[in-house]
């Protein structure tokens, strides 16, 4: 999942392209490149690693062209080298690509059999080679592109320039998002509106199968059947402000610290603070009472928010809730009830597997609700009802504030379902909404204990393997804790339902394995303490996250304890999320990894 940009400008565009790529670096940071046309001649600069490296190259060897394309890469095919960095040039074709050409191998074999020589290992070069072959056969640029698009299988967003064609930029979309930006005598292409926000907020989103021919003053969109189509132009709210870290060392640290505030913002959208009730939207496009069951699907951290929500929907609304990771769900051809409800959860709103799962559910006649943090995203645009999380831009690849805002929105939706289905009494509604209103204060209190949590994390960072245990609605928090530690500190970690331990994972336990136990003082507390006993009996290093007090009798068996304020069990996932995020953050800082842009990851996964 890469970021792509194209500009037909009035003056030199290379710097503007880098400015736009800065807003897309969350999509991949293996390498970056820019190519411009100056009096029709192609100039190209590329660099391995972060965008800054490319900016340094351009500083030394500037490009003056007024038409250009740019790319920031997350490597899928071919190693992280300058040769494999985009833009690719073949003949008079210059191209950047986000996605995966699934039939690239057959096409490559066909091209090589036809005498083509390849210089890179990427799937993208196949597209440039195919277009160049059509050009050599005498086809004009747009016809060459049109005919090549028909041969491509897979996911692609493309931006294409042609040597000698200063007033031509062609884009195509099939899967990953691509937006057109309308300027005054200038035209733009970008993976999203945020990238184009420094230049314009007049945005047209391409649909799947669309390709667009741009000149400085015109736009022509054609669909997969090569019919001329008109797509709506909208005014994007995306802020052009580059988010900064404030006085935090990392975006992740800033985003962890912002949670009390942004959870409050999200709550304000879905509850009435004055009478502590959940807000019933006037235009709910489905009837919760009529539902027999619902499905929640998402990827990664978002799927763990969905898994926690299952406990809320089944407890508060007595609504059987299935949760499945989108990459499996989309191919499982799950039988879904007529008029059922599908909830998809996504921070970016662009995750390919979640988008495909959404489309499957729509095709199966489900009502669709999207819990998203990016209101202009494809998932938001294609869903029947959008419930925004108000986390603000999340820059750190490891999701934190978006996760607790997803939990908040899902908790409110579960309360709404319970209220409409008549399974939630007014007293319980008041109790649970009041607990949610308290959550930001409790979260702030936990953040005050960061010094202690950081010390515990530095201890844990010495381990090779770490286990996380949780029960009930905190089992997903154990999974999330393990994911956070893995993705930013590169320490192997696994989350388990505490009751599962003795069915295998306990074999991993010895004095070198920290076992982080999420143990809220609730009806499952004693069961969790028994699991801790089993770990202690094998010499495991127990880190207990709990609101329980008077633990002296356990003290000898505890390696460390992290206190969480006592609160209503309904909100415990929101609270226990904070210490597991901080453990991962401080372990990663201790390990010296790139916390905000961990290796091999990207913030938005727009390919399968
Ligand atoms: C979480 O820290 C990861 N960045 C990743 O698991 C993420 O949650 C997943 O890719 C889903 O992304 P989305 O919420 O944007 O759909």
**Residue 563 has which token pair?**
């206190």
For residue 586, how far is its CA from the centre of ligand 1 (angstroms)? 20
Give the position, in ligand 1's atom list, of the atom nearest the Cα of 398: 2
For residue 22, how far is its CA from the centre of ligand 1 (angstroms)? 20
Write the burial class of residue 375 (CB in 10 Å: 0-12 exposed, 13-18 middle, 19+ buried).
middle
Residues in contact with ligand 1 (CB, 6 Å cut-off)? 299-302, 346-348, 351, 354, 397-399, 487, 604-605
Number of H helices, E strands in the chain: 19, 27
> Which residue's CA is the nearest one to ligand 1's atom 9?
300
User: Among candidates 389, 385, 337, which has minimal Cα distance to 361?
Assistant: 337
Percent of the chain with pLDDT over 90: 91
Give the position, in ligand 1's atom list, of the atom nearest the Cα of 351: 16
The ranges of the chain with pLDDT < 70 are 1, 239-242, 550-557
* Distances, alpha carbon 316 to alpha carbons 205, 319, 414, 583, in Å: 39, 8, 7, 31
**Catalytically annotated residues:** 2, 603
The values of phi and psi at residue 416, to 5°, are -60, -45
* pLDDT score of 539: 92
For residue 466, how far is its CA from the centre of ligand 1 (angstroms)? 21
Q: Pseudo-torsion of CA 210, 215, 218, 219, nearest 10°?
A: 10
Q: Ligand 1, from 26, 296, 302: best to mutate by most atoms within 8 Å of Cβ?
A: 302
Give the position, in ligand 1's atom list, of the atom nearest the Cα of 348: 15
- Give the length of the chain: 608
For residue 304, how far is its CA from the centre of ligand 1 (angstroms)? 10
> Which residue's CA is the nearest one to ligand 1's atom 7?
300
* pLDDT score of 554: 57
Give the position, in ligand 1's atom list, of the atom nearest the Cα of 379: 16
- Report whether 501 contacts 530 (CB < 8 A): no
Q: Ligand 1, from 605, 606, 608: best to mutate by most atoms within 8 Å of Cβ?
A: 605
Spell out the residues 6+ positions from residue 569 whose beta carbon is closer than 8 angstroms to its own: 473, 520, 522, 523
User: Among candidates 354, 412, 420, which has minimal Cα distance to 604?
Assistant: 354
* pLDDT score of 104: 97
For residue 370, how far is its CA from the centre of ligand 1 (angstroms)? 15
Whether the bond into 350 is cis, omega within 30 of 0 = no
Axis-axis angle for helices 572-591, 475-489 (nearest 10): 20
* pLDDT score of 6: 98
Tell me the three state secondary structure of residue 57: helix
> Which residue's CA is the nearest one to ligand 1's atom 10?
300
């Amino acid at each position: 999942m890469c970021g792509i940009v194209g500009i037909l400008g009035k003056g030199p565009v290379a710097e503007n392209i880098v400015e736009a790529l800065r807003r897309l670096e969350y999509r991949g940071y293996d390498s970056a490149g820019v190519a411009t046309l100056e009096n029709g001649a192609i100039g190209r600069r590329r660099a391995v690693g972060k965008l800054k490296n490319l900016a340094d190259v351009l500083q030394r060897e500037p490009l003056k062209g007024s038409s250009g394309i740019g790319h920031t890469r997350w490597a899928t095919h071919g190693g992280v080298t300058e040769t494999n960095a985009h833009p690719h040039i073949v003949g008079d074709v210059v191209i950047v690509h986000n996605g995966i050409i699934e039939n690239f191998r057959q096409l490559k074999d066909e091209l090589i059999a036809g005498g083509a020589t390849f210089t890179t290992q990427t799937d993208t070069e196949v597209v440039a080679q195919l277009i160049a072959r059509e050009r050599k056969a005498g086809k004009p640029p747009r016809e060459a592109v049109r005919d090549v698009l028909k041969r491509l299988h897979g996911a692609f967003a493309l931006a294409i320039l042609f040597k000698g064609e200063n007033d031509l930029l062609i884009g195509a979309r099939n899967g990953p998002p691509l937006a057109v930006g309308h300027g005054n005598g200038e035209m733009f292409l970008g993976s999203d509106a945020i990238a184009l926000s420094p230049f314009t907020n007049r945005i047209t989103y391409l649909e799947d199968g669309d390709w667009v021919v741009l000149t400085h003053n015109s736009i022509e969109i054609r669909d997969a059947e090569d019919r001329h189509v008109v797509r709506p132009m909208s005014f994007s709210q995306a802020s052009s402000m580059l988010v900064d870290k404030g006085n935090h060392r990392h975006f992740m640290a800033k985003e962890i610290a912002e949670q009390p505030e942004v959870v409050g913002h999200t709550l304000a959208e879905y509850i009435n603070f004055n009478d502590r009730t959940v807000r019933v939207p006037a235009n709910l496009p489905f009837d919760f009472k009529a539902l027999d069951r619902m499905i929640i699907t998402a990827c990664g951290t978002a799927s763990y928010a969905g898994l926690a929500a299952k406990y809320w929907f089944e407890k508060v609304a007595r609504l059987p809730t299935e949760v499945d990771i989108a990459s499996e769900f989309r191919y499982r051809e799950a039988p879904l009830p007529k008029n059922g409800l599908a909830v998809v959860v996504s921070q970016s709103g662009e995750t390919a597997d979640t988008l495909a799962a959404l489309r499957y559910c729509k095709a199966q006649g489900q009502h669709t609700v999207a819990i998203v943090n990016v209101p202009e995203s494809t998932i938001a645009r294609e869903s029947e009802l959008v419930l925004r999380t108000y986390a603000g831009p999340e820059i750190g690849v490891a999701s934190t504030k978006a996760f607790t805002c997803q939990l908040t929105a899902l908790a409110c939706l579960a309360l709404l379902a319970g209220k409409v289905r008549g399974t939630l009494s007014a007293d319980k509604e008041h109790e649970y909404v009041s607990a949610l209103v308290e959550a930001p204060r409790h979260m702030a209190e936990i953040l005050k204990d960061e010094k202690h949590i950081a010390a515990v994390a530095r201890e844990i960072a010495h381990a090779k393997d770490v286990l996380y245990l949780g029960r009930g609605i905190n089992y997903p928090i154990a999974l999330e804790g393990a994911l956070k530690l893995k993705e930013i500190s590169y320490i192997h970690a696994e989350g388990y339902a505490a009751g599962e331990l003795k069915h295998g994972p306990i074999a991993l336990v010895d004095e070198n394995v920290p076992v982080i136990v999420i143990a809220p003082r609730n009806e499952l507390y004693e069961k969790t303490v028994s699991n801790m006993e089993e770990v202690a009996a094998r010499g495991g290093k127990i880190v207990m996250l709990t609101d329980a007090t008077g633990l002296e009798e356990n003290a000898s068996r505890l390696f460390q304890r992290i206190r969480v304020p006592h609160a209503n069990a309904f909100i415990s996932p929101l609270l226990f999320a904070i210490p597991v995020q901080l453990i991962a953050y401080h372990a990663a800082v201790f390990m010296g990894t790139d916390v905000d842009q961990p290796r091999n990851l990207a913030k938005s996964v727009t390919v399968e």
